[in-house]
Structure 1
Amino acid sequence: MPVKLNETLVKKALADVEAKAKAYDLIDAACPGLLLRVGPKGARFAYKYETGHKTYRLTFGSPEQIRLSDARLIASDARRRLTNGLGRPDERWLIAKLRDMGKLPPRPPKREPDPAEIERVQDILRSGEWTWEEARAAYLAEVARVRRADTHTDYRKMLHMPELSIFEGKRVRRITIEDLATIVYVVHASGRERHAEHLASVLRPMWTFLSLHGNKKLSGVETGMSMLKAPERTPGDKPRANGKVPGEYFASAQEIGYTLAVARCGVLEPSLGVALELMVLTGQRRRPIASAEVADFCDFAEQPGWGVWSMRPIHRKTAAKRGDKTLHCIPLPPELWRRLRVQIERAGDSRFLFPQVRPRRAGASADGHLSPAAINHRLLDMGVRASPHDLRRGLSSLCQTALRILPATVELILDHNEGVPTDNVLERHYTMDRRLDLKVPVMEAWSAFAYRQADTEAAKLPSIETLGTELARRRRERELAGKGKRAKPGPAEGGEDSKPEEALAA
């Protein structure tokens, strides 16, 4: 029942609050709509009104902050606002009213918004959105699911480049194409032009992944980065540190023979020696060699003494991505097949032909395979100027120039599509021809040629002990050079008391 509020009732209400009395409302008969709500948590003046078939309460404040006369003034103005159709009295109107009455400090002068503060507030409102590290982990998990293991390794290395560390802790929603382009340009300006192109080619699909409908709520990224590109390359061929122009160096017959001779002489770790021999004689890339699986090798029933390597799409460049399910089969000559059969026994229970000696890092799977980089490192230690791809080019060139084998026939060995266009429907869906009868003559002629070169170079090699010492010295120099240090030669390594050693072929 309404009562006329006075200071006595207000004081009693405050006393009831202190005593934790039962909650009640005092409706002011002198000012319609004004009431004093009393409860254990405090006393509050409020204005109750109805509009649009809905009931609203506008709370003013405690009697300790607002006097009864001020509460009646506010309630009267609120009722007048409703009567004149000026709008509903809400919290915003109340704040302005209290400022006019001096109950609240005046509105602070308008200032330019602080970008950092805006970002902080947005981060609070959009909590849970991915940071750079979270987005990177999610994308790499997707790459591991749909792409080859080597692709995942490559992308992981690129996305952990030191230049990208400035994004750590930052929401990917706030990373712009200008931010990414700046990093790409910095890498390009450092002389790593091909590296800059590769970085852009990794960041573009990452942002496409982040902008997918299923990921937008987590990433906050609305669009991809299709326009992200590296600057154009500097005109002209840029030689590498070793003086080679990329794509223009072909391994000579002497280099191929020397590589085979060292691989077969026993100075290298046995598995690595066989891996090098398999790479030289088949002309395959280093990654399929390193990740070759035992199940892919078998006897060649139609060619006694020979073996067959049936390379699945997962071990071939872009094959799995294109949906190519055909096998690339390479016949293995008897001498090579004998060495591989010994290696299969050496692999034991591992599914890989060349098992990893030890995990590269803590927590890594013990059932790994040989690192592709180990092949490059051994070639450097041997003093071979040719890279694995240069050896591949050497096979192609020598088969045509020295053995006069037609290019289309060489393609049967080197080209995973064996000279057939990738969009050939007949080949991909209606043909199952391994063409081994056409490949055997090529492998027979090439292996005989390569082994002759190896026999010639083997006669020039120093003793195993001397050769092992030289390889160990070069390995230490290479590893120390990577750390910015310089090896100190000992008596047997070119120091003051050392004797001249027989030069190794290079």
Structure 2
Amino acid sequence: MRIAFTDKTIAALKPRPERYEMQDAHCPGLSLRITPEGRKTFGVKYRHGMKQRRMAIGVYPRISLAEARARAMEAMRQVDKGMDPAKRRRQPEFRVEAVATEFIQRYAKPRNRKWMESERILWRELVAVFGQRDIREIGREDIIEIMDNAVDRGAHYQANRILANVRKLFNWCIERGIVEKSPTTGLKAPTKEVARDRQLSGAEITALLRACRNDVYPFRQFVPLLLATAQRRGELANMRWSELDLAEKTWTIPAERSKNGKAHHVPLSTYALELLAEVPRFIDCDYVFTTTRRSPVAGFGKALRRLWQATGADDWRYHDLRRTAASGMAQVRVEPHVIEKILNHMTGKISGVAAVYNRYNYETEAREALEIWGARLANLREESAGVSS
């Protein structure tokens, strides 16, 4: 479909379940591709010889509409001269932003299902600060600076993630001949990480459910659903209505979003279904939890601080709710292998040769376990209502 591109019309383009493309009425060949996740990428379509081709230009709004049109026009001028713009030899682009973009496209995306997390960290911590600098000029002191900034704001483990992702970026740059040495060489993670064992007590769950009931969508339903389903925060944040079979009371996490790369079927308890029934549903939006209608819910840190204040405890994290759910099911004598099934863990009581031959999926047991756990949460919710009344 052809429309006149403006910043306003581009902003109005909403994600759909399938990727789609729009053409610019004012610039021949210029197109905009919109993914189900809301990513908008400019490209230019042209014919070279007998073949129709498309060359990516850049991601909006990191590249402006005006710049995209200029690049598209330049590409079409090259086509008029008989050249293929996608295959022209270009001077290497050494700006941090450009190199990081290519790293994500060529290295992170093909190898890591969680590449979006790497992209988020690099853009927030490295590109936002040094994006227009030549990456060959980035030194050890610059990397220490961004890690120290993370530590100073209390994001101690995040500082470790920053170092890990920046190190991968520079190692890739060495392989490509972009830099001769990495500024991360010899740097150690600033924070020693220890395995967490925090789980919420019954009284703490009651306080948390009370705080959520006094909150608003999306976290009013999102946080209790973390407890009810025992799934990972990122998996629930990206939940789509199309993944839910409410008649069968099942949520299917697709393989591309599952940590172990296998589709995971999560039984939905009565309690979980009650929470989902409260969630508003937006037209032309498949996300269950969203504030933009174009992308999944964000703002987890701000919401967590709000819940800390409401519950009077600031030593728990979202992932601790998953551990709390697993421990709660264990307390009512759910078998360990059933809990592993619910958590979608590859390890557990049934592993090795036994796992090869035992193909029973324990879905019935998992459904019973989550129903029992959901009933427990429903009781705690009623207790919280009694306390607040």
TM-score (norm 2): 0.62
How many residues align? The count is 293
Alignment of 1:77-226 (within 5 A): 128-142=92-106, 145-146=109-110, 147-148=113-114, 149-160=116-127, 165=130, 170-175=133-138, 178-179=140-141, 182-183=144-145, 186=148, 194-213=157-176, 216=177, 220-222=178-180
Residues 256-295 of structure 1: pairs in structure 2 closer than 5 A: 256-263=205-212, 265=213, 267-295=214-242
Give the C-alpha shift of residue 270 in structure 1.
4.0
**Match of residue 308 from structure 1:** 250
Partner of 2:324: 394
- 2:269 alignment partner in structure 1: 333
* Superposition CA RMSD, Å: 3.8
Residue 443 of structure 1: CA displacement? 0.6
Amino acid at match of 1:448: A
Distance in 1 separating the partners of 2:309 and 2:190: 35
Q: One-letter code of the match for 1:353?
A: V
Which residue does 1:417 correspond to in 2? 346
Structure 2 distance, partners of 1:172, 1:424, is 49
1:380 aligns with 2:315: no
* Distance in 1 between residues matched to 2:368 and 2:208, nearest whole Å: 23
Higher relative contact order (CA 8 A, sep 6+): 2
Query: 1:259–1:454: 8 Å Cα contact kept in structure 2?
Result: no
Q: Flag structure 1 segments of 5+ consecutive residues without an equivalent.
A: 1-125, 238-245, 302-306, 359-365, 463-506
The farther-off stretch of 371-380 and 292-301 is 371-380
Q: Is the 8 A contact 1:311 1:329 kept in 2?
A: yes
- Specify every segment of 5 or more residues in structure 2 that has no aligned partner in the other structure, as ranges: 1-89
Match of 1:229 among 172, 183, 187: 187
Report the Cα distance in structure 1 between the residues aligned to 2:118 and 2:360, rounded to whole angstroms.
29
CA distance in 2, matches of 1:227, 1:453: 51
Change (3 A) 1:174 1:260: closer
State the 1:459 CA deviation. 0.1
Once residues 337 and 101 of structure 2 are traced to their aligned partners in structure 1, the CA distance between those partners, rounded to angstroms, is: 44
- 1:255 to partner: Cα distance: 1.8
When residues 186 and 379 of structure 1 are mapped into structure 2, their CA distance, relative to the original with a 3 A threshold, is closer
User: Whole-Å Cα distance in 1 between the matches of residues 352 and 149 of structure 2?
Assistant: 36
The residue identity in structure 1 corresponding to 2:264 is H
Structure 2 match to 1:298: 245
Compute the displacement of 1:348 (Å): 3.4
Distance in 2 of aligned mates of 1:194 and 1:292: 26
**In 2, are the aligned partners of 1:276 and 1:375 still within 8 Å (CA)?**
no
Using the TM superposition, give the Cα deviation of residue 184 of structure 1 relative to its aligned residue in structure 2, in angstroms. 6.9
Instruction: Say if 1:130 and 1:172, in contact at 8 Å, map to a contact too.
Output: yes
Deviations 1:299-352 (A, max 9, x none): 364xxxxx11111233334x4xxxx2x212111112422442453x62332111
The change in CA–CA distance for 1:279 and 1:347 in structure 2 (over 3 A counts) is farther
Query: Which of the residues 345, 348, 359 maps onto 2:283?
Result: 348
In structure 2, relative to structure 1, the CA distance for the partners of 1:399 and 1:351 (3 Å cut) is same
Q: Deviations over 1:343-384 (max 9, x none)?
A: 3x623321111122x4xxxxxxx5112115154244235325
8 Å CA contact 1:133, 1:169 repeated in 2 = yes
Higher CA-based Rg:
1
TM-score, normalised via structure 1 length = 0.49
Q: Tell whether the 8 Å contact from 1:187 to 1:195 is kept in structure 2 after alignment.
A: no
**Deviation readout 1:279-302 (Å, 9 max, x if unpaired):** 11112222222211111110364x
Partner of 2:6: none
Rounded Cα–Cα distance in structure 2 between residues aligned with 1:426 and 1:407? 14
Contact 1:185 1:231 in 2 (8 A): no
Which whole-Å CA distance do the structure 1 matches of 2:352 and 2:169 have between them? 27
8 Å Cα contact 2:337/2:349 also seen in 1:
no
CA distance in structure 2 between the aligned counterparts of 1:187 and 1:254, rounded to whole angstroms: 36
Shift of the 424–367 alpha-carbon distance from structure 1 to 2, 3 Å rule, reads farther
The one of 250, 261, 267 equivalent to 2:199 is: 250
2:46 match = none
Identity among equivalent pairs (%): 18
Distance 1:387 1:193 in 2: 14
| CA distance in 2: counterparts of 1:145 and 1:351, whole angstroms | 23
After superposition, the Cα gap between the structure-2 partners of 1:132 and 1:439, relative to the gap in structure 1 and judged at 3 Å, is same
Q: In structure 2, do the counterparts of structure 1 residues 273 and 197 end up closer, same or farther at CA, with 3 Å as the change threshold?
A: closer
Cα gap change, 1:188 to 1:380, in 2 (>3 Å): closer
Aligned partner of 2:58 in structure 1 is none
Matched letter for residue 172 of structure 1: I
